[in-house]
Amino acid sequence: MAGKDQPISQTLGEALKSGTAQLATAGCDSPRLEAELLLCEATGASRTELIAWPDRPLMPSQAKQLANLIRRRAGGEPIAYILGYREFWGLRLRVTPDTLIPRHETELLVEATLAALPAERSLVGIDLGTGCGAVAIALASERPRWTLIASDRSGPALHVAADNARTLGLGNLLPLQADWLTAIADEALHFIVCNPPYIHAADPHLHLGDPRHEPRMALTDDADGTTPARTIARQGRRCLHPRGWIAFEHGWDQGPTARQLLNARGYHRVQTLCDLAGHDRVTCGYT
């Protein structure tokens, strides 16, 4: 019938094979997985349906949308920005080019915080540089008695974090636009967590892969990558309760520096935790 979306000869299976080949040629790390995700986005099918019904035909509009999505990914655009979301801590979070794309390595920061602090107490903590709100939202979802302040100096990023919290129904997350801890009163916090910009300004990885498209101020301090951690450690002494806790993520080679700067500020029981690859990833300590 004229004007109706008619099937074309390409099937889900054929589209998946073709998309995988295009993304592999473009050098994508996980071409099959990414092709599946983009095909699901274009067709509304689930990944299970792609496997169960590979002979299902695509409509012309679906094929056109898929071709556009594949073109964008092959051109280097992060798949999280194309899809508009990233999974973190089992939660689907909206992300935009205004926010850093959450990495699975950062889940160690969440794990460490949950292990270090009592679940039954009504604690107040802050996630500095929250971006899309990943760390704050993960903690708020696990600890309903805690109050999480999600802080960022970027208004657009903070809007995304607040929207994610509303979507997930988290009433114990409070967005705050501020520069690090300047807006926090003395001894107002029980804990501080942060995934700061820690990449050295000269690191070539800033110009490769996803980081090319992410907000530069969320990746690097345009110096040696330790300035934010030094600021947080210094300001944290004023803002934390006695026996408060601080933890921040850092680069694989920054563990010794991170421990030194916390020790120099008088934090106690300082330690560095390793990620699943065995790399130094999170350093923490108590006041």
Name 94's bridge partners.
85
Question: Which residues of the chain does CATH 1.10.8.10 include?
Answer: 12-76
Question: Which residues of the chain does CATH 3.40.50.150 include?
Answer: 98-286
Question: What is 12-76's CATH number?
Answer: 1.10.8.10
Domain 98-286: which topology?
Rossmann fold (3.40.50)
pLDDT at 1 over 80: no
Coarse DSSP helix, strand, coil percentages of the chain, rounded to the nearest 5 percent: 40, 20, 40
pLDDT 10s digits, 48-84: 999 999 999 999 999 999 999 999 999 999 999 999 9
**Average predicted confidence (pLDDT) for the chain:** 96
Average pLDDT over residues 97-112: 97
Confidence of residue 2 (pLDDT cuts 50, 70, 90): very low
Residues 33-72 as b/e (b if ≥16 CB within 10 A, e otherwise) read ebbbbbbbbbbebeeeebeeeeeeebbeebbebbbebbee
Confidence of residue 35 (pLDDT cuts 50, 70, 90): very high
Q: What is the pLDDT of residue 64?
A: 95
Average pLDDT over residues 1-23: 79
Average pLDDT over residues 111-134: 97
Confidence of residue 190 (pLDDT cuts 50, 70, 90): very high
Q: What is the pLDDT of residue 167?
A: 98
